[in-house]
Chains A and B, each alone.
Chain A
């Protein structure tokens, strides 16, 4: 048995116990050896998942960012196991806190006292000062690097939503924070729920065991209909409107390639084990109704060994939609989620979903990954086996940012440029008034100027 196969097995063995993996497994890229020999695909032991986190002393969570996802994450957290509580809230806006409390009362009969609800830009600091064991970060992405730094400094475990930042400067801050958190042995889950999705993980393990051979390329997609927007209310300042409409402003969201498509880019990172070294992208704004973002991107990501991955994302009504990933290998391909095909398209392996009453496999019966990620978080805390997804997701976010900047400028953008870039989005002053940021939609390349006669 080859040395690399042994280490893969060992890795699978240990990770199965906790059911949590933030660790990058050995890489299998074409050109890294082994293509000449016929690798025997080792049998992959089935991962042992927990349907609920184990019981233990009460864990108290604070929620920073009480909008739609914050509320959802809080409910997922409460569903993850026994003896879990939400005890403090922070949001920029009062009405979001009220909406959160109402929803939690309705669904879980949970009350959060008024004096533990904090409003404003610096409300997060008050939550971190409370007696919480962990925090849930669900604000617009712009604020994330600062919130992560503060939460790690306060030594709290963290559930943070993706993306982790909106610009290269933010990505580097998060990478450094990731190192600090690792030294402090904090558990950090980053909302990239496919990594906690049972079918994805099983497919990943089959790929790691060699079922598709060496990876030679792939495609990642997030093409969907128009996402939500908020029209400006008369009573709102520009700052308030931008934050309430954050998913349409690139300084708050990073544009949709970062905000949403990072999920698929993270799968590309996960399966290959490495990040691309340069990107050539293009994109434009066709129909978006507010804000300064594009509504589609198309990026060619190039890796160090010459491999290419194609990425596309779109948010326009009336177009064909596709949210998925595929990875091509020397012996087959996979949709990363539940199926592995050979080079001719015949099925080599399929994930066995739990069956319904009629005995048919039913994907809906699989554990909800949004809850699973909280189960894994709580289990990790209660069994004192920390794991930290921050660095991986920071790299995936930086990859998406690299694609965005290439599309905005029309130039090839390299990872080195990103690790050295000074680009920092956002205004210098935070107050409820006019916001000084560039608001024009970026246009790539140069204008054609006809010669004057």
Chain B
């Protein structure tokens, strides 16, 4: 009996001490003071102090861990251990100046470390009596959707915990181009009478953009089975011939897109009419986009950056408008034209030499092998070199056809409907100017984005629009047909047809 007590009692005391001690450690490392004590993210500390979670009307201060850890019973200890260890590792092994704080500020990142269960722990009632109409619409929408990780409180409430200057999640009616200042506005578009590169002028604006003449030719569309990171939809390889066309040197810039927006913008969406109460003809004008939500440029700047956050429908309408004002035939490229143009006469994974595996930036082996990415960096804005945002085109060099940012920066809309096995439906032998399937539900996008790693910015990489996902948190009812609320990495470049209007005989 004494032996049992001899071992049991000290064990009990040590156990109790450990538990109490552990409890103490957990609480003391969860205080605001502790979070701030490393002095690693003074900007985050400061923006928290300017937020509505710090300076509340009731005087209550929301603590760091109340948002950045899940509530007790929802994985609190596990998340605390994980993030705690990661914090310690980074603190000791990395240079905090190299951290991409801009990216961490963004929505994608925020969703992963601001827990929705924590939001709801305090904000139990989504329909308080004083809720505004906008809140009603948004919360009605939120409660009626199937729950997915993308549908997160923070999509609309990104500034709750950390102040963001100028953050608005409402209709941004003041959005629009800066004045063109004293620059003279063009009266007419450029006249083109032969198949040579030219600089287009948009009438009634001072905006120009370069169009490169892309000679017709043959190429092998798709990628061989042994290409690294190849996906099934990139094969089987087909021989394709493409007729000559003009293609924009860069993706449509904010300067160009805002000209379209300003010249055609509609005030509010036109209401559907119940039946046709009018008996007369409907006028055929091009009505353009309605005011966007929040800041479509995500605060990264306008000017020569590629325009983003607008829908496929908006891109098509832009082309129709551009055709109308310039008297040429502008349109989106077909997928075949796009791949042909991006390859620039090459048949390698990229239009420059290099093995995709050696350009990777993410993943354990990539970090271990310290890949040399200087070649890809000079041609492609991708995960390895972009601070998680778009870049102006002067950062990269052109491909053999004189086109920049075909790979990376923003992905680009194509006119084809997306079909996973489209290449297998094209016949063997030479296919001439294929245009994709007759119908579909989503459109092709090509080129990869500034968020993609090396494997997804190859010439053969294919992707497609995800319309409902990109409108997931559009809290407006009805949802916009002009803007995506959850996609800021897709844009497009225009193709101008070589036809009678541009000198073809």
Chain A residues within CB distance 8 Å of chain B: 152-153, 155, 172-173, 175-177, 179-180, 182-184, 405, 408-410, 419-424, 438, 440, 442-444, 446-447
Contacts and interface: CB of A to CB of B under 8 A. Distances in A.
Interface in B121-180: 125-129, 131, 133, 136-137, 139-140, 143-144
A405 B127 CA distance: 29
A153 B130 CA distance: 8
Contact of A420 (B271, B279, B477): B477
B477 A172 contact: yes
Contacts of B125: 183
Contacts of B75: none
Nearest to B476: A420
Contact of A423 (B139, B271, B279): B271
A442 B276 CA distance: 6
B477 A419 contact: yes
Interface of B: 125-129, 131, 133, 136-137, 139-140, 143-144, 269, 271-272, 274-277, 279, 477-479
A342 to B, nearest CB: 38
24 contacts: A152-B129, A172-B137, A172-B140, A176-B131, A176-B136, A176-B137, A176-B140, A179-B126, A179-B127, A180-B128, A183-B128, A183-B129, A405-B274, A410-B275, A419-B144, A419-B477, A420-B478, A420-B479, A421-B272, A423-B274, A440-B277, A442-B274, A444-B275, A447-B279
A409 B137 contact: no
A260 to B, nearest CB: 19
Given A172-B140, A420-B477, A180 B277 contact: no
Nearest to B474: A420
A420 B471 CA distance: 13
**Most chain B beta-carbon neighbours within 10 Å: one of A173, A410, A420, A424:** A420
Contact of A176 (B139, B274, B275, B479): B139
Nearest to B143: A179
A278 to B, nearest CB: 16
A155 B130 CA distance: 12
5 A-B pairs with the lowest CB-CB distances in the bound complex, closest first = A442-B275, A420-B478, A176-B136, A179-B127, A408-B275
Given A421-B478, A443-B276, A179 B271 contact: no
Is the contact region of chain B dominated by helix, strand, or loop, or is it mixed?
loop
A438 B277 contact: yes
A176 B127 contact: yes
Contact of B129 (A153, A405, A444): A153
B136 A173 contact: yes
Nearest to B140: A176
A182 B127 CA distance: 9
Contacts of A419: 144, 477
Nearest to B144: A419
A440 B275 CA distance: 10
B261 to A, nearest CB: 21
B477 to A, nearest CB: 5
A173 B136 CA distance: 8
A382 B276 CA distance: 51
A183 B143 CA distance: 14
Contact of B127 (A183, A410, A423): A183
B278 to A, nearest CB: 8
Contacts of B144: 419
A373 to B, nearest CB: 25
Given A176-B140, A440-B277, 11 more contacts: A172-B140, A173-B133, A175-B140, A179-B127, A179-B140, A180-B129, A405-B274, A408-B274, A409-B275, A420-B478, A422-B272
A183 B128 CA distance: 7
B142 to A, nearest CB: 11
A51 B306 CA distance: 71
A379 to B, nearest CB: 25
A422 B129 contact: no
Given A176-B127, A421-B478, A422-B269, A443 B137 contact: no
A438 B126 CA distance: 37
Nearest to A420: B478
B275 to A, nearest CB: 3
B274 A409 contact: yes
B316 to A, nearest CB: 21
Nearest to A411: B275
Contacts of B136: 172-173, 176-177
Contacts of B479: 420
A410 B274 CA distance: 10
Contacts of B274: 405, 408-409, 423, 442
Contacts of A182: 127
A438 B279 CA distance: 13
A180 B131 contact: yes
Contacts of A421: 272, 478
Nearest to B135: A176
A49 to B, nearest CB: 32
A424 B140 contact: no
B2 to A, nearest CB: 55
Contacts of B133: 173
Contacts of B139: 176, 179
Contacts of A446: 276
A58 to B, nearest CB: 26
B450 to A, nearest CB: 31
A177 B137 CA distance: 11
A95 B479 CA distance: 45
Nearest to A154: B129
Nearest to B479: A420
A77 B374 CA distance: 82
A186 to B, nearest CB: 10
A423 B477 contact: no
Contacts of B272: 421-423
A422 B128 contact: no
A443 B275 contact: yes
A153 B272 CA distance: 31
B271 A424 contact: yes
A179 B138 CA distance: 13
Contacts of A173: 133, 136
Contacts of B143: 179
B280 to A, nearest CB: 11
Nearest to B124: A183
A174 to B, nearest CB: 10
**Most chain B beta-carbon neighbours within 10 Å: one of A183, A410, A443:** A183
Contacts of B275: 408-410, 442-444
A119 to B, nearest CB: 28
